[in-house]
Amino acid sequence: MTVRGKRIFTFSIDSDTAEEFRGHIINKYGTIHALSVEFENIIKSFLKGRKKRFTPLAQEKNRIWQKLRSIVDRMEDEGFTSQILETDLIRIIKEKAGVDRRTVNNRIALMKDMKIITGEIVSPSGMRIYDLDLNPMNMKTRKMPEILIEHM
């Protein structure tokens, strides 16, 4: 452990798997208190042996993120004041990506919509640029996790 300490992770898993895992920990260590230690070991070996493969949607989001970042950088260079605000941009992304799209074809349509959104940002009329935290995480929407799960 580093000096940075520990971080708490909360997640939900299928109750049968949870019970099985709990039983495994108790059998192995005689107590459930070893849960976090065992998890750390599992995650360590997972990260060690991971292969970098991206889902198409993640690739697309990363690409859009890069593009947005470069736009904001350019606007800042041109003297725009940085402000953290809920922008029209975020609202548009939420509205567009929040549309219920389930089929493969529609998922492609969603990506195309997102491209259109980046086009709207570039357009000079009525443009409002803020110092957005353009992490792909912040482009989350209610429907996005479902779409990602379908990809897995």
Partner 1 sequence: MTVRGKKKIVIRMDADLADEFRKHIIDKYGTIHALSVVFERIIKEYLFEVEHEVIP
Total residues at the site for partner 1 (CB under 8 A)?
Answer: 53
Task: Name which of residues 14 to 43 contact partner 1 (CB under 8 A).
Answer: 14-21, 24, 35-36, 39-40, 42-43
Torsion region of 140: left, alpha or beta (phi above 0 gives left; psi -120 to 50 gives alpha): beta
Q: Is 5 helix (H, G, I), strand (E, B) or coil?
A: coil
**What binding mask, one character per residue, do residues 116-145 give for partner 1 by CB under 8 A, x or -?**
-------------------xxx-xx---xx
**Which residues, 6 or more positions from 150, have their beta carbon under 8 angstroms from its beta carbon?**
102, 107
Cβ-in-10-Å burial (0-12, 13-18, 19+) of 97 comes to: buried
Binding mask 57-96 for partner 1 (x = CB under 8 A): xx-xxx----------------------------------
Residue 55 φ then ψ, to 5°:
-75, 155
Residues that bind partner 1 (CB under 8 A): 1-2, 4-21, 24, 35-36, 39-40, 42-47, 49-50, 52-55, 57-58, 60-62, 135-137, 139-140, 144-145, 148-149, 151-152
